[in-house]
Structure 1
Amino acid sequence: MTKWMSIRVKMTALLAAAALLISVSATQPIQAQGAAFTEPLNGPNPGMFYTSDGWGNGVDFGVGWKASNQEFSNGIMALRLDNVGCPSNCSGKPYASAEYATTQKYGYGRVEARIKAAKGTGLVTSLFTYSGAAPGTSNDEIDIEILGKDTTKMETNYFTNGVGGHSTVIDLGFDASLDFHDYAFEWSPTSIKWYVDGRLVHTETGSRGPLPTSPGYIMVNLWSGAGPAEIWTGKFTYPGHPIRAYYDWIKFTPAS
């Protein structure tokens, strides 16, 4: 009798632990979601990434996304902004540009890329994660953005349940449009840490608002501000020739 009671107690404890694990996993993002990768950007990688094509974002964006504006050469990916075929072939936007994103979402870990930013008032060169607005997500985002109006600075930000307002401007100490540099952020349940060339430059702990919790697609793009966004980006004037932002590689390392 004692033996069977002991087995029953152990089984009850195991079932309780399993129920707790299921409950926690249902409300928390999977910390290691998404395997580690290094994308060398030698050419399109449709198995892991997709190129936005034939559509545009809202009124804040002055570009429509076109796959033809993504270029690969000598191990470097360029996102080209121009006015070819616009606005009729640019989703009604005055300019065209390119955007590249992973096909799956990634959770806690380190996102990084080696980038040479585009220079010019009104432009934004980016590396970010975006959970999307699909059912079951909270529209979370973590940003690295270099504004073309001052490429000696980088802007960090995050959105949780669509709520932002956590922007911080970092003085880089160099001109990001002149050469490649490494930009990264590490996301955990308790913090987001941003790095430049391996140096920690900013940390958020949730003191200014809850941190993101939803895994997101890893994305890069080049765009010009329009409408309300011009207050932030400045007004873009096309210089009469294509403008490019360059990416050497993109990496993800899941949290241990």
Structure 2
Amino acid sequence: MTAILSSVHARLIASALLVLSLGTVAVAQEENGKSFVENFDSMDRSFWYVSDGWNNGPHQNCTWSKKLVKFEGGQLQLGYQEGKAGDRNYSCGEIQTKGRYRYGTYEARIKTATGPGLNSAFFTYIGPTDKKPHDEIDMEVLGKNTSQVQLNQYISAKGGNEKLVDVAGGADKAFNDYAFVWEPQRLRYFVNGKMVHEVTDPSKIPQNPQKIFFSLWGTDTLKSWMGKFAYNGPTVMNVDRMAFTALGDKCQFPESVACLSN
């Protein structure tokens, strides 16, 4: 429960700090919703926003740094490394879409970072910064046990929907495909093309359009959730491909979960 509450507080703190970093609250944008495939050949700054110069609160032991977000060799690379940054002794990477998305298929091919106390995350989020309730859909690999991915949803800042699912061979040993299909009355999670969890309770399915995030960060304090932090040298979370396929659109590549029959 402590980890759940800390995570909720973390998102709220992150929202407040993002407002401060930008100097003003941006005018709420309309839902984008257009299907796309991102192969990470080059960074489009009009599409992606790179977190830089702040952290998400006392639980986070690293400062977001644009230097640790790279589009290189057809992959997104998010780094974590030792080095004084702001009031933290480590730096880490996060990227988010500027546009918002809702119903459809979200999928990413990821090789996660290694190390206890680290979190390699693929998720959607919206919250108070955008004058919206805190809604979120998570697929997170905790470095303390990279043989599993944690699934979760927040609806109006209420979480507690965690489920752990196995990742054969280890999420940090090779690329694996992670996906979720978000519909008004159903949310399905997939790992390597196989459905591993289905949510049909409307009270546990977000409804607000959200931004898409990738992040790699660490903690000294959330030990019961993420494990006792131990720095074993620089590490990287790699994303080989990311795609959003709007509900009703044709699938965009052969391996896409959107190609499966509903």
The TM-score with structure 2 as length reference comes to 0.80
Shift of 1:33: 4.7
Which residue pairs with 2:45 in the alignment? 46
SS at match of 1:222: strand
1:46-65 equivalences in 2 (<5 Å): 46-65=45-64
1:60-209 equivalences in 2 (<5 Å): 60-84=59-83, 86=84, 90-134=85-129, 136-206=131-201, 209=203
Q: Given that residues 59 and 226 in structure 1 are in contact (C-alpha distance below 8 angstroms), is that contact kept between their aligned partners in structure 2? A: no
1:231 maps onto 2:220 in alignment = no
Which residue pairs with 1:25 in the alignment? none
Which residue pairs with 2:206 in the alignment? 212
Q: Given that residues 68 and 78 in structure 2 are in contact (C-alpha distance below 8 angstroms), is that contact kept between their aligned partners in structure 1? A: yes
Q: Which runs of 5+ in 2 are unaligned?
A: 1-29, 249-262
SS at match of 2:82: coil
* Distance in 1 of aligned mates of 2:180 and 2:60: 24
* Distance in 2 of aligned mates of 1:96 and 1:130: 22
Question: How big is each residue's C-alpha offset from its partner over 1:48-106, in whole Å with a ceiling of 9 and x where there is no partner?
Answer: 1111011110122211100001123211121110122x1xxx23122110101100110
SS at match of 2:169: coil
Shift of 1:135: 5.4
SS at match of 1:158: strand
Who wins on radius of gyration, i.e. which is larger?
A: 1
Counterpart AA for 2:101: Y
Question: How big is each residue's C-alpha offset from its partner over 1:13-40, in whole Å with a ceiling of 9 and x where there is no partner?
Answer: xxxxxxxxxxxxxxxxx9x851001111
The count of residues paired between Structure 1 and Structure 2 equals 219
Identity %: 33
Counterpart AA for 1:47: S
Question: How big is each residue's C-alpha offset from its partner over 1:94-138, in whole Å with a ceiling of 9 and x where there is no partner?
Answer: 211010110011011111111001111111111000012235411
Counterpart AA for 1:195: F
Which residue pairs with 1:17 in the alignment? none
* Distance in 1 of aligned mates of 2:70 and 2:129: 30
Counterpart AA for 1:214: N
Q: Given that residues 106 and 217 in structure 1 are in contact (C-alpha distance below 8 angstroms), is that contact kept between their aligned partners in structure 2? A: yes
* Distance in 2 of aligned mates of 1:197 and 1:45: 28
SS at match of 1:55: coil
* Distance in 1 of aligned mates of 2:98 and 2:230: 33
* C-alpha RMSD of the superposition: 1.6
Q: Given that residues 34 and 106 in structure 1 are in contact (C-alpha distance below 8 angstroms), is that contact kept between their aligned partners in structure 2? A: yes
Q: Given that residues 43 and 77 in structure 1 are in contact (C-alpha distance below 8 angstroms), is that contact kept between their aligned partners in structure 2? A: no
Which runs of at least 4 in structure 1 moved beyond 2 Å after TM superposition?
none
Q: Given that residues 120 and 148 in structure 1 are in contact (C-alpha distance below 8 angstroms), is that contact kept between their aligned partners in structure 2? A: yes
The TM-score with structure 1 as length reference comes to 0.81
Q: Given that residues 110 and 252 in structure 1 are in contact (C-alpha distance below 8 angstroms), is that contact kept between their aligned partners in structure 2? A: yes
